[in-house]
Structure 1
Amino acid sequence: MEFPFTARQIVEMGCTAWSGRGDAARVRDAVDRALTTADAADLADQPVTATSAGERARVGLARVLAQDAVILLLDEPTAALDIRHQHRVLAIARAQAAAGRLVLVVLHDLNLAAGYADRIALMVDGRLDALGTPADVLTTGRLAAAYRHPIAVTVSDEGTVTVLPATATGKDGLAP
């Protein structure tokens, strides 16, 4: 069931845990700040039912930011987002962590995880398989075993980890 709440109303719902009577100005400021941070200020007066999946994701992030919680749990926050907004969301998550908040992000894009995470927990079949830095966890052998697919992992001289699945070009033993 969908209701035509505006983006602003959705983000205001994030403030209900801490707002009360007399907090209207504080709520308005928190909502405006969150919408701007999430690059969703232009959506404020639009019904969320008229927005794209990526725009809804940005509104959802704004709602989380408006909560002003000390712990942020973000489940696939980059899904449905273009590259610019994927990186913006993860930069926001890093900024929240730098501000002293605990930030836990679930990602399936291993390159984004490698680029932004301080620590990575690799789950395999519902169990923790590895926990550590991106370079320690995202290894060719570990990922190939976890995904049951050939994987190529490279680490640049600067320490940037890049993960690529093998393709069906014949070079990886998967050719027909």
Structure 2
Amino acid sequence: MPGQKSSVKEEKFSGEENNYNDKDNPDFNQHSNNIQQEKEILLFSEKYGIQLKVPAISVVLSGLFPGLGQVYNGDSLLKGLLIFFGTTFGFFIFLIPGLIVWIYGMYDAWKKANGINSGLYEYKPAKTADLIFMVIIPLIVMVILMVLSIYAMMQFTEIPYELTRI
């Protein structure tokens, strides 16, 4: 009889442990659900030959708007903005630093997309709002730089004001 009590306690203890994982710890359940979803996504992509992220698209997006390839890959908006402003600032200092940051951004986007497809990095879908933001910010910066260059041209050259009015 004493042996039965200990086995009942062990069964009760193991049952309590399972209840703890299921009911009292929602983070555990969420984490296990995320892992299961990631496995299903990877199996689906391998089964049908679908790439989760297309490296060529990632490189082209980074080539058009520095940092956009990172946001496409699911990286944070901050990383995309840092690459964009690093490229822009690098071009103003001297052409070479801007080119280095720009090429690094394209390489990083390509490497991350390949890593996502091979399972090295976690798959994160791109946020539409972040993609739109990463297109709008460079356009705003280009307009501001264009206005500033026109203003500088008018102030520091001897072009009459009448010739600049259209």
Give the structure-1-normalised TM-score.
0.23
Q: Which has the higher contact order (CA 8 A, sep 6+)?
A: 2
User: Which of the two has greater helix per residue?
Assistant: 2
User: Which of the two has greater strand per residue?
Assistant: 1
Q: Which structure has the bigger radius of gyration? A: 2
